[in-house]
């Protein structure tokens, strides 16, 4: 009698353990039913901030004369920009750079015998930062006017930025998430399944490229500054449960 009871209890235990293991296996398999998709968010925008840099220089055998000449050129540049409607608050004149110039000297037989001092070259950089993008663009292209005034001015290509990029990025993440959800629903629909809860989300690299250019994406993220009109894009990798 006692042995029969023990056998019965053992059988019940086996059945209970089997049910528990089966339930765990079902849950485990169910947790593995997921779908991973990549959503894309893109937006075109026009830069609202321009940074233009340039430099001008003066050369003289006497340092004082070089300083005086550079100061005169600085006034010409400042007056010229003022007449073009660029406010002093937008202009930054940076520190003066001094270079001692020389040329090589050779003996009659062609052997190098040292260098000869030829003068001092003083140069000064200028930076203009403004939201008047089109106005600064026009000025940056008209450096010939300064050359006509005797100023040895070198202009660098303007750089373009967007001051609301942070807000745009948030909107693009939302758009990428929605795009990924739609892709997941389409895939699930074709498989006669239903998209469940979001399991995980991972944001990709934020890219900013110039419109109508052949720029390629970078693993670290491209940040175009040479184009006024740009395209921003971001990807979001989403994993959903499939019910």
Within-domain flag for 8:
no
Question: Is residue 138 domain-shared with residue 59, that is, in the same domain?
Answer: yes
Identify the pLDDT of residue 175: 95
Question: Is residue 91 domain-shared with residue 186, that is, in the same domain?
Answer: no
Count of domains observed in the chain: 2
Question: Is residue 112 domain-shared with residue 67, that is, in the same domain?
Answer: yes
3-state secondary structure of 54: strand
CATH of the domain at 78: 3.30.70.2970
Question: Is residue 54 domain-shared with residue 144, that is, in the same domain?
Answer: yes
Question: Is residue 143 domain-shared with residue 183, that is, in the same domain?
Answer: no
Within-domain flag for 6:
no
Identify the pLDDT of residue 17: 38
User: pTM above 0.95?
Assistant: no
Q: What is the pLDDT of residues 179-193, one digit of tens each?
A: 999 999 999 999 889
Of the candidates 96, 126, 160, which is a domain's last residue? 160
Within-domain flag for 233:
yes
Cβ distance 67 to 173 under 8 Å?
no
Question: Is residue 60 domain-shared with residue 150, that is, in the same domain?
Answer: yes
Q: Tell me how far apart the alpha carbons of residues 121 and 98 are, in angstroms, rounded to a whole number.
A: 6
Of the candidates 160, 184, 217, which is a domain's last residue? 160
Within-domain flag for 10:
no
Within-domain flag for 20:
no
Question: Is residue 146 domain-shared with residue 61, that is, in the same domain?
Answer: yes
Alpha helices (H) along 129-191: 133-141, 144-148, 165-190
Provide the token pair at 200. Answer: 């995980």
Identify the pLDDT of residue 163: 96
The DSSP 8-state label assigned to residue 223 in this structure reads: B
Question: Is residue 112 domain-shared with residue 184, that is, in the same domain?
Answer: no
Within-domain flag for 204:
yes
3-state secondary structure of 34: strand
Question: Is residue 58 domain-shared with residue 147, that is, in the same domain?
Answer: yes
Query: Cβ neighbours of residue 64 under 8 Å, at least 6 residues apart?
Result: none
Question: Is residue 39 domain-shared with residue 55, that is, in the same domain?
Answer: no
CA distances from 15 to 8, 21, 22, 23, 116 (A): 11, 10, 10, 12, 102
Identify the pLDDT of residue 11: 52
Of the candidates 160, 188, 205, which is a domain's last residue? 160
Identify the pLDDT of residue 32: 60
Count helices and strands (H / E) in the chain.
5, 9
Parts of the chain with a pLDDT under 70:
1-32
Closest CA to 41 of 210, 222, 185, 232: 232
Question: Is residue 134 domain-shared with residue 212, that is, in the same domain?
Answer: no
Within-domain flag for 14:
no
Identify the pLDDT of residue 216: 80
Q: Tell me how far apart the alpha carbons of residues 42 and 62 are, in angstroms, rounded to a whole number.
A: 58
CATH of the domain at 192: 3.30.110.170
Provide the token pair at 157. Answer: 């290509």
Domain hosting 225: range is 31-46+164-242
Q: What is the pLDDT of residues 30-74, one digit of tens each?
A: 546 899 999 999 999 999 999 999 999 999 999 999 999 999 999
CA distances from 98 to 92, 166, 196 (A): 18, 40, 68
Within-domain flag for 114:
yes
Question: Is residue 152 domain-shared with residue 170, that is, in the same domain?
Answer: no
């Amino acid at each position: 009698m006692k042995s029969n009871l023990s056998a019965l209890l053992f059988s019940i235990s086996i059945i209970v353990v089997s049910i528990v293991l089966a339930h765990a296996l079902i849950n485990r398999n169910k947790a593995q039913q997921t779908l991973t998709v990549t959503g894309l968010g893109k937006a075109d925008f026009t830069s609202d901030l321009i940074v233009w840099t340039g430099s001008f220089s003066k050369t003289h055998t006497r340092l004082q004369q070089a300083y005086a000449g550079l100061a005169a050129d600085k006034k010409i540049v400042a007056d010229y920009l003022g007449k073009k409607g660029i406010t002093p608050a937008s202009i930054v004149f940076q520190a003066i750079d001094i270079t001692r110039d020389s040329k090589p000297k050779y003996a009659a037989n062609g052997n190098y015998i040292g260098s000869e001092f030829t003068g001092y070259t003083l140069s000064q950089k200028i930076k203009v930062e403004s939201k008047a993008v089109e106005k600064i663009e026009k000025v940056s292209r008209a450096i010939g006017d300064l050359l006509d005034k005797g100023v040895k001015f070198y202009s660098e290509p303007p750089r373009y930025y967007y001051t609301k990029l942070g807000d745009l990025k948030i909107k693009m993440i939302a758009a990428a998430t929605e795009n990924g959800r739609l892709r997941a629903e389409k895939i699930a629909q074709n498989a006669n399944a239903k998209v469940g809860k979001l399991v995980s989300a991972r944001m990709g690299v934020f890219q900013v490229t110039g419109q109508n250019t052949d720029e390629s994406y970078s693993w670290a993220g491209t940040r175009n500054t040479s184009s006024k009109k740009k395209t921003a894009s971001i990807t979001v990798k989403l994993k959903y449960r499939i019910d």
